[in-house]
Structure 1
Amino acid sequence: MDSTFARAGRPPILESLAGAAILAVGMGFGRFAFTGMYPLMVKEAVMSVSTGSLAASANYAGYLVGALAMSGVNERHAARLSRGALVGTVASLAVLAIHPTVTLLIGTRFLAGLVSAVSLVAASVWLLQTMNHQHGAPILYAGVGVGIAASGQLIAIGEAAHVGSPALWLLLAAAAFVLSALAWPITLHTAPLPDEQTQRTSPSHRSVRPNIGPWTLVVIYGFAGLGYIVTATYLPLLIKTTASHLSAPYVWACFGLAAVPSCFLWHELHQRCGSRLSLAVNLLVQAIGVVLPVFSHAPSAFLGSAVLVGGTFVGTVTIIMPAAKRVAHVVHFNLMAALTAAYGVGQIVGPLLSDRLVERTHSFDQPLAAAGAALVAAALVCVVRRSA
């Protein structure tokens, strides 16, 4: 019998599910629901496209600040910070129901970005380091896709029923609250698996080789953040403007649905092939998904983009974070927080570059091509760089 079960009185999968719920709330709802709501709020004149871009940029800036703030946090505080992120996310969703001013909207999205970074780092540290439960990584990161799919489905249903954005934000806040309530008690009472047993039984210690050095991981993850963010920010808006007969919320829900099983696929590939090859394949497939709408505006291209990018971007996290756990001892800072910060920098650069290119070309083709190039560059770093 697993010692976690023996000492905590429950199977260890509950810890993984609790972590998944934390990421579903903090990332899926708090971070990415805005992408699905963006076209609806513009349509209702709650905000303009430019205001939405400012709010998105504020969210990415908050994400970066949150990641940097987590860099010096001790792992024993991870569970408490995870619970704090749940509270902050539910509050940030509820505030958007009150027709906020531009200032309040931007400030709220900054807060949502900050707590989403806290949720990602804290939940990862709690499950992978505090609990020593590395084999729970695919369930943990599948939570992001579950949150995106669930929030996207709620938005699609609400839009079909002609529910306004204020009521939809309240509905999203209520759903996030329910998920938070399910995760909360599990983070209060936990018993970690001993290090020596984890090293004997965890597949990651037996089969994953060779390690990628910490700074190489940071470079790769920064490029990955830049590469996925154009699709993750603008896909529903792009569909609304170029393929209006498609349901943007449903396509966005497919983005999230694709992420859920992908975590298990990429985790298995990671175990079998090692970090370098699995990451390179992941990033190249993601690049194909990003650039598909450059070559075609057919419904199949948008759906293919959603499935391929949705099915890889969380997979990148599923590979990177356990890989970081194995080499974290060689640096004197929180490597998971540093990785999240690098990802945040990429996410800030991506939209800024996109705005410049769209202003010049009046098309998303160049931003998507640039994002795809960033992912190809990250894949090349995977196979060229040695441990560093």
Structure 2
Amino acid sequence: MQDAAIRITKPPAFNITRGTVAGASASLVGIGLARFAYTPLLPAIIDAHWFAASTAAYLGAANLGGYLAGALLGGYLARRANATHVLRAMMLLATIAFVACAFPLSFSWFFVWRFASGLSGGALMVLAAPTVLAHVPPSRRGLVSGAIFAGIGLGIAASGTIVPLLLLQGVKQTWLGLAAIALLLTLAAWNGWPKHDAHAHTAPAHHAKHRKHSGFTLRALYAEYALNAIGLVPHMLFLVDFVSRGLGKGLDTGAQYWVLFGLGAIAGPLLSGHLADRAGFGPALRVAFVIQIVAVVLPLIGTSPALLIVSSVLMGAAVPGIVPLALGRVNELLAHHPAAQKGAWSTATTGFAVLQAGAAYGMSFLFTQNGGNYQMLFAIGAAALALALSVDLFAALRGNPENS
């Protein structure tokens, strides 16, 4: 008991490297594995007769619903509880959910645990990076946030590499293998979180002025980030199917483009974070919008391997790469009101989750109603991203120049 008291009463200085590892581990477990590992598992679950194809698709949607709930819950918990305790609990919840999914006792059982895995991912997305970045000097926040969200990219890459290897042992063994990986990452992150929440103190006189100037820009950022979610859906949901069935290249070729997508996802957050440290989060975000527009338009221009490779890598980089840019922009706009940053990031994440889920269902419906028109999906994605860029440019011209 005395030793425990000593450990609690002498908090060491925050180690940025260990904090970065903890944040990346949380992203990898909560988003990278809990969401993206299900994609290659889906056909195996159907082939093993765990669930019918239509039922298994609903189970995939359960994770998106849980993610939305987690994003909302994360904002509440950020105001009510110690962030470190919540982060540890959510990583444990994700680990337990992997174990539970190894036993398909019933549809309800599986649905609840897929929902729980999504909930943990949403809460981790809202809390992990802001908790760490509050202790990081502003000049390093871009690169650190990029490293944290690289965990998402690692999960995407793992979905095309580690999961197929685990599936050689069986579906049940794959879920248990994912649980083991999640447990190891949870333990690696356990002592990397800050011992206390950082609260910057700024003069209250600046708050009202800053909020007056940044209010419109912040609301515009919420809209941009949500529109960006729509732009990601065509590649995230339909890339492999587009190549394998739409172009008649076969599943193996489609999977190769998904690996390229994953490689881009690993590098994306690090590159976007580095760019933000050099140019600022606002300009970096605009560059990201332009790159995504190019990536979504390329399949409309042509379907040569060169164009599809560039499109896959660029959009793969954007999926996790846009996240540290949006988070950094939130923190910039609320630099004089740090207590509001986690709540604002929760709002942004919630909007992203709502439009991503809505776009996923909406595009799936349009796809089936229009006889499998892939070009329509990419056109919708490009339009959403162009609108996001337009909103950002309008907000920059209308808002406070120092925040542009």
TM class, shorter-chain normalised? 0.7 to 0.9
- The TM-score with structure 1 as length reference comes to 0.83
- Give the one of 232, 237, 252 matched to 1:233: 237
Task: Give the match for residue 207 of structure 1.
Answer: none
Q: Distance in 2 between matches of 1:156 and 1:220?
A: 35
Secondary structure class of the residue paired with 2:102? helix
1:152 is aligned to 2:151:
no
Of 376-385 and 243-252, the range deviating more from structure 2: 243-252
Output aligned runs, 1:219-258, within 5 Å: 219-241=223-245, 242-246=248-252, 248-249=254-255, 251-258=257-264
1:377 is aligned to 2:383:
no
Residue identity over aligned pairs, in percent, reads 24
Q: Distance in 2 between matches of 1:28 and 1:313?
A: 11
1:101 is aligned to 2:106:
yes
Task: Give the match for residue 3 of structure 2.
Answer: none
Q: Which amino acid aligns with 2:91?
A: L
1:368 is aligned to 2:378:
yes
Task: Give the match for residue 211 of structure 2.
Answer: none
Task: Give the match for residue 3 of structure 1.
Answer: none
Q: Distance in 2 between matches of 1:107 and 1:302?
A: 37
Distance change in 2, residues 1:55/1:154 (3 Å): same
Q: Which runs of 5+ in 1 are unaligned?
A: 1-5, 197-209
Q: Which amino acid aligns with 1:359?
A: T
Output aligned runs, 1:177-326, within 5 Å: 177-187=183-193, 190=195, 195=200, 213-241=217-245, 242-246=248-252, 248-249=254-255, 251-294=257-300, 300=306, 302-326=308-332
| C-alpha displacement of 1:264 | 2.4
Q: Distance in 1 between matches of 2:231 and 2:196?
A: 38
Distance change in 2, residues 1:296/1:341 (3 Å): same
Secondary structure class of the residue paired with 2:195? coil
Task: Give the match for residue 5 of structure 2.
Answer: none
| C-alpha displacement of 1:383 | 1.1
Q: Which amino acid aligns with 1:216?
A: A
Q: Distance in 1 between matches of 2:50 and 2:390?
A: 43
Q: Which amino acid aligns with 2:21?
A: L
CA RMSD of aligned residues (A): 3.1
Task: Give the match for residue 64 of structure 1.
Answer: 68
Q: Which runs of 5+ in 2 are unaligned?
A: 1-9, 202-213
Of 117-126 and 65-74, the range deviating more from structure 2: 65-74
| C-alpha displacement of 1:325 | 1.5
Output aligned runs, 1:29-44, within 5 Å: 29-44=33-48
Secondary structure class of the residue paired with 1:32? coil
| C-alpha displacement of 1:340 | 0.6
Task: Give the match for residue 387 of structure 1.
Answer: 399
Q: Distance in 2 between matches of 1:101 and 1:304?
A: 42
Q: Distance in 2 between matches of 1:267 and 1:11?
A: 19
Q: Distance in 2 between matches of 1:99 and 1:295?
A: 44
Contact 1:216 1:381 in 2 (8 A): yes
Q: Distance in 2 between matches of 1:181 and 1:15?
A: 13
Contact 2:74 2:124 in 1 (8 A): no
Whichever of the two has the greater Rg, that structure is 2
Distance change in 2, residues 1:186/1:313 (3 Å): same
